[in-house]
Amino acid sequence: MTVLNIANQIPNSITTLEECAAWSGLALANINPTLQAIEGVGINQNVAQAGIFYVQADNKYRLLVRLSLQVSPDYLIGGSKLWTYAQEFSNTALPSGFYS
């Protein structure tokens, strides 16, 4: 698992849930660039993807983040919040550029 110290690795400049989601998606895509998951018969996708796209229709740039998180089957019988059942992608350390 990629260990995260919430007290000192999430930048203080993150003040919204949207910024946190963008940061998480970018970090996971950075440290797992080739890791894939089987999402269906003959369908493999990278577990974390992030990219900036220009949308000409409204003249804006958008960050698209996609995660494919494996979830423990215990979520069916457990009483915890759903996110607590998410399984780790890897044990790759978070690069210091994401928190320094």
Residue corresponding to tokens 């890897």: 90
Please give the average pLDDT of every successive group of 10 residues along the chain, which has 100 residues. Answer: 86 95 97 97 98 98 98 95 94 92
Quote the pLDDT of residue 89. Answer: 94
Element at 36 (helix H, strand E): strand 36-40
Cβ pair 96, 8 in contact under 8 A: no
Quote the pLDDT of residue 15. Answer: 94
Q: pTM of the full predicted structure?
A: 0.89
Residue 5 to residues 12, 30, 44, 50, 89: CA-CA distances in angstroms?
Answer: 13, 18, 31, 23, 17
Quote the pLDDT of residue 100. Answer: 82
